[in-house]
Chains A and B, each alone.
Chain A
Amino acid sequence: MSSNNKNSRGIWSRMAPRQGNLRAWQVLLLVLAFVLWHVFTSPTLLPPIYFDDNNKAAFFFGEPLTVMSRLWVWFAGGEIYQHLWITLVETMLAFFIGTVSGVIIGLWLALSPMASAICEPYIKAMNAMPRVILAPIFFVWFGLGISSKVALGVTLVFFIVFFNVYQGVKEVSPVVLANARMLGASQRQLLRYVYLPSAMSWVFASLHNAVGLAFVGAVVGEYLGSAAGVGYLIHQAEGVFDINTVFAGILLLTAFALVLDWIVSFAEKRLMVWQPKNSETERI
């Protein structure tokens, strides 16, 4: 295509969504959402469409500018760090303990058919149980501090990782396994050189879910009973109908969940170099 032709196609064709300006379009979508939020909730911009009072939209849905200023006050005043730190510690502990125990018990049950046959109905039952219900029990056992939230998060994370490791070990190629045995691998070496690496791709697939669930465990735990943490802040704000602070808390947690997910993706990319990636041909 000649460059002359390209220029004559106008501004729209250059702006059209494609691989190159994907990021710009993503940002645009975010900005658009905030603008719409602002326009529909501001008491003065539009006459009331649905509510009979000018201020009601802002009361129910908050106002983006106030939400942003609340976030600013939190960070500038330093009030938030203590709460954020607690929520992060709870999340990381739940994530770490849940993942490690999920991997170990998943490997163990997958490799001993008798134990897994005995435990199978109970594992299914525990997975089917709505585990957030355990929160009151954990409060009784561990008190209102960090440990009850960690316990709640662990129960959520554990099963995700556990089932993936279990599946991962079951899906090990029997030929790869037989080959390693023929090359002289002992049981212990099979575990380290075949089962574990094979299960790792399943583990990483589950870790993205696990990060989110560790946050759920921490925040729901705080929401139900605590004296610190972002969930506690949200709960306090809700008590006085301060919807802007609730939204500020939600945005903050979303941002941090994204950061943790990004860290998992980063680790995945570094550790799973052997996995085939889709590639497309370059157009010249």
Chain B
Amino acid sequence: MTAALALENITCTFISRGDRSQRYTAMRDTTLMVAAGEFVSVVGPTGCGKSTLLNVAAGLLAPSSGSVRVFGELLNGINTRAGYLFQSEALMPWRNTLDNVTAGLEFRGVPLEEARVRANDWLRRVGLTGFGHRYPHQLSGGQRKRVSLAQTLIMDPQIILMDEPFSALDVQTRQLMENELLELWQADRKSVVFITHDLEEAIALSDRVVVLAAGPETHPIGDYRIDLPRPRDVSEIRMTPRFIELHSQIWHAMKDEVLKGYVQQQQK
């Protein structure tokens, strides 16, 4: 079976625009396979290049070397079979909630009437019925994330890329959103690549956790299968012995890298 998303030997080197001798290799020889319907989390210390990995998978960033395959096809340009949930605010502030959700369908040429009906259905599924006329600045951080989720999922992408989507939320909202995400994902299984620096979140949500080394030249240093039963409740699963066992196992492997990353941050 071909993988839904295959990153093969990806290397990303950035060259400073002003001074071409200034180079920074964010990622070296990274290979990552995501099967259809699989939920994979990528964890790693801050600043290690997790977002670089995701941008390469999305086609927003061309790798210096290596290739990306989407369902076996070589990726060239934007990955049209993927949806991307960004870490920071990505909604168009001049469009209200409903128009933000319909945006992707409009780009695709779906008639506005039909797009609105589908968008309203998605607003209901993310719990925002009646918020269609509000503008992004009139919503709370959690509500904006829900709109982003609806905006991405309405396109029915086969692969969902998430870049620390819940990191800006408070703990309670975050757990609610994580459960909702799992519920939506359970309904029709997409492939998910979920970037986070929070190991607990990664284990609670995923089928597999991939650990990245501290940057520069980051690469995977561990790949752990999470055999916790589904459906899960993210706040309850954290109490189970198997969760704690997995957590200590992965944390043990991560600890040195996190320390390295921390020292690098201090030196900057």
Contact = CB atoms under 8 A, between A and B. Distances in A.
Contacts of B93: 176, 274-275
Given A175-B88, A179-B84, A197-B94, A184 B135 contact: no
Contacts of A200: 94
B107 A198 contact: no
Contacts of A186: 107
A92 interface: no
B198 interface: no
Interface stretch (B20-28, B64-72, B75-83, B252-260): B75-83
Nearest to A186: B107
Contacts of B86: 175, 178-179
Given A175-B90, A183-B107, A194-B92, A276 B137 contact: yes
A60 to B, nearest CB: 52
Contacts of A185: 103, 107
A165 to B, nearest CB: 15
A181 B60 contact: yes
A178 B84 CA distance: 9
Given A179-B84, A182-B83, A193 B135 contact: no
A193 B92 CA distance: 9
A183 B103 contact: yes
A200 B92 CA distance: 13
A276 B134 CA distance: 11
Size category of the A interface is 20 to 34
Interface residues of B, number: 30
Nearest to B163: A175
Interface in A170-211: 173, 175-176, 178-186, 189, 193-194, 197-198, 200
B90 A176 contact: yes
B88 to A, nearest CB: 5
Contact of B107 (A178, A189, A275, A276): A189
Q: Which 6 pairs, one residue from A and one from B, show the smallest C-beta to C-beta distance?
A: A183-B104, A179-B90, A276-B137, A197-B94, A182-B84, A274-B94
16 contacts: A176-B92, A180-B92, A181-B60, A182-B78, A182-B82, A182-B83, A183-B104, A183-B155, A184-B108, A184-B155, A185-B107, A186-B107, A193-B107, A197-B94, A274-B94, A276-B137
